[in-house]
């Protein structure tokens, strides 16, 4: 056995030596030089040829003035010369670098102290394998940035921004096809799969895909052996891993088939000539994997909220008809397994021996599929014999082929590195700019981009606030290992048949709340240990920091059922005495028993009760935010029963629903409304604005605080003194607009005043719009997620503002003509129109003396022209207009609206809008609405033109389609005269997009903002003035803007010199 030297493996100049020791590094000097980035070579194993940055990424950084030092490597997929040509310096020594990027964990002895290091650390769940490295990070005062934690909002669990994408799926599918070719040959069948190699055997992903495509051509022409057909490949889930694997299989001739149709396909028997020339691809999702124990219809949100109430069906409904299973879905111990060894054995014994292979890309040990062992790139397969329960590495042996390689992206190092670098590149300039801090909380971490800030695990010799939980979780894990050993050695454990010790009695507990700052998780371990039991943590979702709510799923094991019940009772009793903790027991399992049917919630004695009125789009993000605190319990009250029950199912046992009519004068309903307000700690009113005052009166009556996202009405303002005397905070206007606009604007205004600057111009613009890629199908560049009526009525609101010292007013009939263009950035060409009464807000902002004060609404170009044409034709009139009654066709109705004969309708339209704003596009818009056709009128009150217009706009092109997203845009502009007499323009821009699979941008910005206000009131209402409030003072906007930024919602502020000429012009 021999060892190669470092210079042999990685350098390009040293001669080959068969023996020797690694080169010694120069003595590391703490700190490094800001502006210098190091790229470490990978050495975890011989297959790790990836890099965090490709040469082209290095070239971009060098162009920005960043010095890049790359360690030489003869293994890396990119040559040293490629990096050198990109402008990097090739050298072994990285001591000059203040920031160093790697992919995998760094050997402790090579971890330079006092640097910012970026890599996958495997420490955030207190994994035992990562703790020595974490100790070294702390001892060496390294600032550790873990890629796994770089997310959109900076909070763990949110969408990851730096990852290897679909590459595990690509490589796993390619390797698996190669294995199937060899396995089928062992079974006596030659197939085109035999000509596919492992992914690492190809110089590029394109070449690997070409090999799969050639196999597909052969299948299309000659078919597969009939004994293997119909060939059914079942994929689990719809995530990135599965999509990557699907992309490879779709290079073969295929036909999609629903899992429910597999039995019918199976009835056709062994392959026909037709189905031998294609593969059947089937995607199994949750509804194909489980069913409710009570026989209820499958409900995805209910399943995720209460998985213990569901039982597995995949093993009977899908597995018997599958040729291969490709497993790429997320799984943890809360959910039933897809299938087990026992299921495979049973199917074989019953003659359902069709399963030939399992590709477990997720590589969860004892996870959703029965993977007995992980494999390696050089030895990627094993065979599992269900009859003997044995495994073999010989593919000629009988059984099922298993593939389970846990570092698949390294098989496609070039493309994976290119993708990874694309994700990482934008964050590097900020990280490279400064040194790692020498002491905790003393560096520039607070100024890093939000996604990266939340990924800083440690700095200055200490864990950061968000990761302090690791120390406690580590202690729990270490104790669990000791407890397991002691439990196995315990002589008191019952003995089962044949003298074998009986398996322990077990129960699953879901514990939510402040697990770490209260040390409750440690207390649970103490209690279990006192009963000679054991705790195993199966899954843990950690909050934003030690003081934020976390959730742990753990299995408690004791010797007997009696001792288990005693142990659980002590845990439940402890939870009742502990604030901020809730415990839910999800079923119970014992030796030889199935799952129980009970679930129990234990609320702490200090639980905060939140009453949410309304169940619309904004409620979901609000609930999600507030339930992060395990001390909060929410009741959603609404007349929309289906919506509120769906919310209750989605968000689980701490979110209840109650039918409630806020306006009802029924005595029982009034009593219920009164009682619900009385029993709550805070009321969040998200019902229509006209309903808030009645709710506020009840809040004042019972001394309860209240939050709304709506404007303060005159009637609400009249409650100020009553609320003030009752010590009640009624905070209004905490949404997007109003809300974020107020707070961000006031911050800019107060900062300017504090420095002695004079504000010459203030402009605030906001709009909720379709994202650019979704706007094209609508002629007005607008889409609706609820009734268009509100948008139509707003298009006729009068407006007034101040401009260069003059009061400007425009009647509602001409609002849409008063537009000006705005290029918010290179991609967004928008129009601005005035938004109601700006003058009243100038008083609220303390800017009555500012020469220009303007608030506007943003729309895409073309909206105002077309809507103005509609307005000119009377389509926005409220009605009723009796002459429209009884009209059958749209053309007849339109002619009656314009009081013209039908045969003169086109001319009448042209004359009405001729020469005016929107004349060029107005007629075509009316035709698009169908008002020149003989189609039937919609089923609305046709005497009211605005109701007809509302109905006509509710067509497919105007609604958000699946996968389309919305956007909110906000833009503030201040022009100030500084104390030295010079002028400066200051802007703040917010552009927020929806997650197509989550909440809309509008719902998120409104819901999260209202939730933050509710949180602050719950935490300490005494910090705020009692009465009817807006978030215009520093006591409100400082904490709220910071908490919004923590959620990734922030305005980008900039400043540039301005000239005195035209400083106040719009």
Residue-wise pLDDT tens digits, 905-925: 888 888 888 777 767 787 888
Q: What would the pLDDT profile of 757-792 be if each residue is shown by its tens digit?
A: 999 999 999 999 888 888 878 888 888 866 678 888
Contacts of 970 (CB under 8 A, 6+ apart): 736, 737, 740, 741, 744, 764, 765, 766, 988, 989, 990, 991, 1051
The band of 1, judged by pLDDT with boundaries at 50, 70 and 90, is very low
Question: How much of the chain, in percent, has pLDDT values that exceed 70?
Answer: 88
Q: What would the pLDDT profile of 544-555 be if each residue is shown by its tens digit?
A: 544 556 777 777
Whole-number pLDDT of residue 850:
92
Contacts of 131 (CB under 8 A, 6+ apart): 123, 474
More confident residue, 845 or 649: 845
Residue 597: Cβ within 10 Å count: 11
Whole-number pLDDT of residue 95:
94
pLDDT at 147 over 90: yes
Whole-number pLDDT of residue 825:
66
The mean per-residue pLDDT over the stretch 190-216 comes to 93
H-helix or E-strand spanning residue 314: helix 314-317
The band of 497, judged by pLDDT with boundaries at 50, 70 and 90, is very low
H-helix or E-strand spanning residue 139: helix 131-139
Of 43, 302, 308, 737, which is the active-site residue?
Answer: 737
Greatest mean pLDDT among 593-597, 646-650, 752-756: 752-756
Specify which residues 635 forms β-bridges with. Answer: 611, 656
Comparing 180-194, 465-479, 981-995, 1023-1037, the range with the smallest average pLDDT is 465-479
pLDDT at 655 over 90: no
Whole-number pLDDT of residue 725:
94
- Averaged pLDDT score across all residues of the chain: 84
Whole-number pLDDT of residue 541:
66
pTM: 0.55
pLDDT at 24 over 60: no
d(CA 503, CA 589): 11
Specify which residues 231 forms β-bridges with. Answer: 279
d(CA 1000, CA 1006): 10
Q: Contact, 693 vs 715, CB < 8 A?
A: yes
pLDDT at 1011 over 60: yes
Structure tokens, 856 = 């506007």
pLDDT at 667 over 60: yes
* Rg, C-alpha atoms of the chain: 33
* DSSP secondary structure letter of residue 784: B
Whole-number pLDDT of residue 600:
45
Whole-number pLDDT of residue 485:
53
The mean per-residue pLDDT over the stretch 469-480 comes to 72
The band of 153, judged by pLDDT with boundaries at 50, 70 and 90, is confident
Residue 469: Cβ within 10 Å count: 25
More confident residue, 133 or 668: 133
Q: Smallest Cα–Cα separation from 430: which of 207, 127, 98, 1?
A: 98
d(CA 958, CA 886): 27
Residue 567: Cβ within 10 Å count: 24
d(CA 840, CA 199): 66
Structure tokens, 107 = 């050997």
Per-residue burial over 1009-1032, b = 16 or more CB atoms within 10 Å of its CB, e = otherwise? bbbbbbbbbbeebeebebbbbbbb
d(CA 322, CA 615): 42
d(CA 824, CA 1052): 12
Contacts of 127 (CB under 8 A, 6+ apart): none
d(CA 336, CA 516): 28
pLDDT at 1013 over 60: yes
Q: Smallest Cα–Cα separation from 816: which of 875, 862, 764, 770?
A: 862
The band of 683, judged by pLDDT with boundaries at 50, 70 and 90, is very high
Whole-number pLDDT of residue 105:
92
pLDDT at 236 over 60: yes
d(CA 374, CA 365): 8
The mean per-residue pLDDT over the stretch 578-582 comes to 74
Integer angstrom CA distances of residue 728 from 178, 691, 707, 724, 743:
70, 18, 11, 6, 21
DSSP string, 602-668: E--TTPEEEEEE--STTHHHHHHHHTTSTTEEEEEEES-HHHHHHHHHHHGGGEEEEE--TT---HH
Whole-number pLDDT of residue 23:
41
* DSSP secondary structure letter of residue 501: B
pLDDT at 374 over 90: no
Q: Contact, 254 vs 220, CB < 8 A?
A: no
The mean per-residue pLDDT over the stretch 989-1009 comes to 86
Q: What would the pLDDT profile of 791-847 be if each residue is shown by its tens digit?
A: 888 888 899 999 988 999 999 888 888 888 887 766 677 889 999 999 999 999 999
The mean per-residue pLDDT over the stretch 531-536 comes to 76
Residue 703: Cβ within 10 Å count: 11
d(CA 260, CA 267): 13
- Four-point Cα dihedral 104, 105, 110, 115, nearest 10: 90
pLDDT at 8 over 60: no
Whole-number pLDDT of residue 681:
94
Q: Contact, 144 vs 366, CB < 8 A?
A: no
Q: Smallest Cα–Cα separation from 473: which of 528, 533, 554, 532?
A: 554
pLDDT at 975 over 90: yes
Residue 495: Cβ within 10 Å count: 10
Collapsed DSSP state (helix, strand, coil) of residue 727: coil
Whether 389 is catalytic: no
| Three-class SS of 213-265 | HHHHHHHHHHCCCHHHCCEEEEEECCCHHHHHHHHHHCCCCEEECCHHHHHHH
d(CA 527, CA 499): 30
Q: What would the pLDDT profile of 248-264 be if each residue is shown by its tens digit?
A: 999 999 999 999 999 98
Q: Contact, 747 vs 762, CB < 8 A?
A: no
pLDDT at 30 over 70: no
pLDDT at 283 over 70: yes
CB < 8 Å & 24+ apart, contacts of 329-332: 329/236, 329/237, 329/239, 329/241, 329/242, 329/362, 329/368, 330/237, 330/239, 330/362, 331/362, 331/364, 331/367, 331/368, 332/538, 332/539, 332/553
Whole-number pLDDT of residue 662:
87
pLDDT at 942 over 70: yes
Whole-number pLDDT of residue 498:
33
Contacts of 255 (CB under 8 A, 6+ apart): 278, 279, 280, 281
Collapsed DSSP state (helix, strand, coil) of residue 912: helix
Whole-number pLDDT of residue 593:
27
The band of 157, judged by pLDDT with boundaries at 50, 70 and 90, is low
Greatest mean pLDDT among 284-298, 320-334, 574-588: 284-298
């Amino acid at each position: 056995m021999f060892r190669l030297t470092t210079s042999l493996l990685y350098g390009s100049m040293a001669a080959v030596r068969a023996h020797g020791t690694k080169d010694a590094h120069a003595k590391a000097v703490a700190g490094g030089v800001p502006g210098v980035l190091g790229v470490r070579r990978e050495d975890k194993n011989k297959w790790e040829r990836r890099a965090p940055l490709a040469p082209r990424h290095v070239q971009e950084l060098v162009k920005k003035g960043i010095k890049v030092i790359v360690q030489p490597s003869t293994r890396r997929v990119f040559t040293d010369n490629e990096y050198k040509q990109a402008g990097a310096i090739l050298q072994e020594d990285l001591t000059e670098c203040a920031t160093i990027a790697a992919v995998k964990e760094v050997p402790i002895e090579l971890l330079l102290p006092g640097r910012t290091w970026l890599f996958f650390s495997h420490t955030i769940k207190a994994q035992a394998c990562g703790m020595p490295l974490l100790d070294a990070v702390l001892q060496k005062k390294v600032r550790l940035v873990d890629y796994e934690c770089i997310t959109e909002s900076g909070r763990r669990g949110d969408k990851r921004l730096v990852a290897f994408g679909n590459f595990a799926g690509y490589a796993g599918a390619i390797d698996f096809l190669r294995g199937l070719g060899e396995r089928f040959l062992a079974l006596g069948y030659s197939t085109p799969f035999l000509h596919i190699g492992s992914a690492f055997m190809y110089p590029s992903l394109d070449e690997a895909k070409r090999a799969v495509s050639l196999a597909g051509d052969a299948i299309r022409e000659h078919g597969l052996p009939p004994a293997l057909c119909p060939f059914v490949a079942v994929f689990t889930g719809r995530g990135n891993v599965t999509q990557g694997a699907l992309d490879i299989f779709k290079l073969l001739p295929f036909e999609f088939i629903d899992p429910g149709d597999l039995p019918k396909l199976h009835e056709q028997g062994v392959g026909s000539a037709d189905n031998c020339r294609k593969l059947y691809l089937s995607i199994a999702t949750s509804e194909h994997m489980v069913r409710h124990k009570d026989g209820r219809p499958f409900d995805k949100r209910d399943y995720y909220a209460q998985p213990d109430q569901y039982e597995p069906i995949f093993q009977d409904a899908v597995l018997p008809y599958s040729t291969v299973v490709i497993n790429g879905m997320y799984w943890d111990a809360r959910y039933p397994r897809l299938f087990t060894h026992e299921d495979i054995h049973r199917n074989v014994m019953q003659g359902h021996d069709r399963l030939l292979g399992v590709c477990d890309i997720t590589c969860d040990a004892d996870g959703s599929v029965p993977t007995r062992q992980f494999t390696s790139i050089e030895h990627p397969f094993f065979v599992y014999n269900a009859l003997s329960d044995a495994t073999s590495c010989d593919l000629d042996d009988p059984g099922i082929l298993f593939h389970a390689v846990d570092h698949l992206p390294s098989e496609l190092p070039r493309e994976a590195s290119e993708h990874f670098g694309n994700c990482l590149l934008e964050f590097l300039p900020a990280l490279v700019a400064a040194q790692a801090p020498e002491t905790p909380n003393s560096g520039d971490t607070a100024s890093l981009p939000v996604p990266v800030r939340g990924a800083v695990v440690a700095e200055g010799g200490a864990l950061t606030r968000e990761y302090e939980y690791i120390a406690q979780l580590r202690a729990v894990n270490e104790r669990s290992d000791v407890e397991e050993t002691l439990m196995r050695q315990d002589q008191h454990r019952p003995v089962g048949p044949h003298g074998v010790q009986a398996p322990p009695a077990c129960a699953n507990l879901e514990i939510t709340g402040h697990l770490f700052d209260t040390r409750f998780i440690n207390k649970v371990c103490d209690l279990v240990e006192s009963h000679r039991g054991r705790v195993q943590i199966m899954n843990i979702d950690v909050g934003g920091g030690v003081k934020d709510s976390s959730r742990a799923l753990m299995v408690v094991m004791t010797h007997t059922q009696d001792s288990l019940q005693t142990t659980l009772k002590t845990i439940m009793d402890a939870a009742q005495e502990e604030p901020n903790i809730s415990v839910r027991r999800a079923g119970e399992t014992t030796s030889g028993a199935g799952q129980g049917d009970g679930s129990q919630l234990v609320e702490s004695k200090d639980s905060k009760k939140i009453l949410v009125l309304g169940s619309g789009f904004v409620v979901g993000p609000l609930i999600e935010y507030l339930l992060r605190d395990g001390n909060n319990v929410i009741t959603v009250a609404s007349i929309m029963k289906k919506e509120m029950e769906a919310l209750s199912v989605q968000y689980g046992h701490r979110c209840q629903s109650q039918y409630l009519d806020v306006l009802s004068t029924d005595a029982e309903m009034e009593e219920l409304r009164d009682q619900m307000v009385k029993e709550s700690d805070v009321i969040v009113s998200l019902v229509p604005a006209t309903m808030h005052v009645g709710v506020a009166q009840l809040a004042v009556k019972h001394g309860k605080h209240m939050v709304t996202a709506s404007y303060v009405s005159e009637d609400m303002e009249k409650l100020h003194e009553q609320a003030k005397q009752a010590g009640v905070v009624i905070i209004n206007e905490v949404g997007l607009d109003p809300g974020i606009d107020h707070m961000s604007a006031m911050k800019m205004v107060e900062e300017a005043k504090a420095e002695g600057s004079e504000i010459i111009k203030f402009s605030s613009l906001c709009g909720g719009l379709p994202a650019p890629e979704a706007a094209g199908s609508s002629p007005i560049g607008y889409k609706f997620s609820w009734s268009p009526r509100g948008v139509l009525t707003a298009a006729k609101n009068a407006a007034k503002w101040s401009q260069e010292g003059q009061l400007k007013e425009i009647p509602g009939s001409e609002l849409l003509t008063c537009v000006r263009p705005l290029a918010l950035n290179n991609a967004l060409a928008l129009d601005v129109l005035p938004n109601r009464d700006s003058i009243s807000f100038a008083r609220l902002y303390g800017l009555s003396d500012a020469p220009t004060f303007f608030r506007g609404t943003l729309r895409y170009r073309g909206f105002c022209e077309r809507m103005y044409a509609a307005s000119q034709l009377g389509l926005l009139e409220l009605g009723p207009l009796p002459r429209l009654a009884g009209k059958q066709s749209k053309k007849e109705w339109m002619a009656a609206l314009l009081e013209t004969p039908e045969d003169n309708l086109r001319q009448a339209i042209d004359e009405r809008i001729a020469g005016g704003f929107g004349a060029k596009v107005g007629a075509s818009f009316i035709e698009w609405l169908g008002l020149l056709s003989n189609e039937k009128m919609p089923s609305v009150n046709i005497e009211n033109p605005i109701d007809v217009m509302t109905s006509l706009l509710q067509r497919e092109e105007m609604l958000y389609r699946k996968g389309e997203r919305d956007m909110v845009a906000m833009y503030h502009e201040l022009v100030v005269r500084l104390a030295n007499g010079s002028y400066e323009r200051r802007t703040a821009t917010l552009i927020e997009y929806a997650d197509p699979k989550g909440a809309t941008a509008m719902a998120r910005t409104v819901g999260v903002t209202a939730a933050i206000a509710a949180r602050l009131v719950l935490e300490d209402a005494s910090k705020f003035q009692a009465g009817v409030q807006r978030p215009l003072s520093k006591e409100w906007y400082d904490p709220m803007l910071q908490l919004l930024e923590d959620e990734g919602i922030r305005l980008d502020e900039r400043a540039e010199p301005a000239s005195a000429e035209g400083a106040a012009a719009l």
